[in-house]
Chain A
């Protein structure tokens, strides 16, 4: 069974940093591109970033480019999102997504003073 579990969410002040993790199981992690998608509660979905199978190339939405960094560790079957210079508008539920098909349950990130 494919499983993705996000962790690392929480409350952070504007300008602060946070690192999200996504632990995966039930599939060969190294064979899939991985994405982060976020959703402000009550609003629509927003693609944030994706990383290629080998981890050498990453792409970002304009809204986070230069502040967020996606990475992966195939030895740990895990995906990460390093978030710096956080803004109030980054407050959202962050989902880890395998390619286009399986989603985690999300981690809530709240940016507030």
Chain B
């Protein structure tokens, strides 16, 4: 079955740039989506269609994709950005969706 691979954890100091990667064989042809999930809360969409930002999401969140790797970038990470981040996409059929394993972002 299809898999998306993320690093388990990323750590940065406040104000630094955090980059979280997601690799998958179908990503060259399928969009990547990114969610932020804080403890005890439902996930929140922070990036859709590779690099689009929903309204209300701070500009420091951006997304990009190159080949089989998508990247979520948080420029000038804040303490409040500490959370788990998940990438999300489909397999080549477009009918089966998959989450990456999640990346725990620490900002301290």
Measured CB to CB, the residues of A under 8 A from B are 35, 37, 44-47, 50, 59, 61-62, 95, 100-101, 103-106
Please report the C-alpha to C-alpha distance between residue A46 and residue B4 in the assembled complex, in whole angstroms: 12
CA distance A81 to B98 in the complex (A): 19
Of all chain A residues, which has the CB nearest B86? Answer: A45
Measured CB to CB, the nearest residue on chain B to A35 is: B97
Do B33 and A95 touch (CB < 8 A)?
no
Apart from A45-B86, A45-B99, A50-B97, what are 15 other A-B pairs with CB-CB below 8 Å?
A44-B86, A44-B100, A45-B43, A47-B88, A47-B97, A47-B98, A47-B99, A62-B1, A95-B43, A100-B33, A100-B45, A100-B48, A101-B45, A103-B44, A106-B42
Bound Cα distance from A47 to B33, whole angstroms: 13
Contact B33 A61 (CB under 8 A): no
The interface of chain B, by Cβ under 8 A from chain A, is 1, 33, 35, 37, 42-45, 48, 54, 86, 88, 95-102
Interface of chain B, main secondary structure: strand
Give the nearest-CB partner of B37 in chain A: A45
Look across to chain B and name the residue whose beta carbon is closest to the beta carbon of A44. Answer: B102
Taking CB as reference atom, which chain A residue is nearest B98? A47
A102: nearest chain-B partner, CB-CB = B45
Given A45-B86, A62-B1, A101 contacting B48 (CB threshold 8 A): yes
Q: Is the CB of B1 within 8 A of A103?
A: no
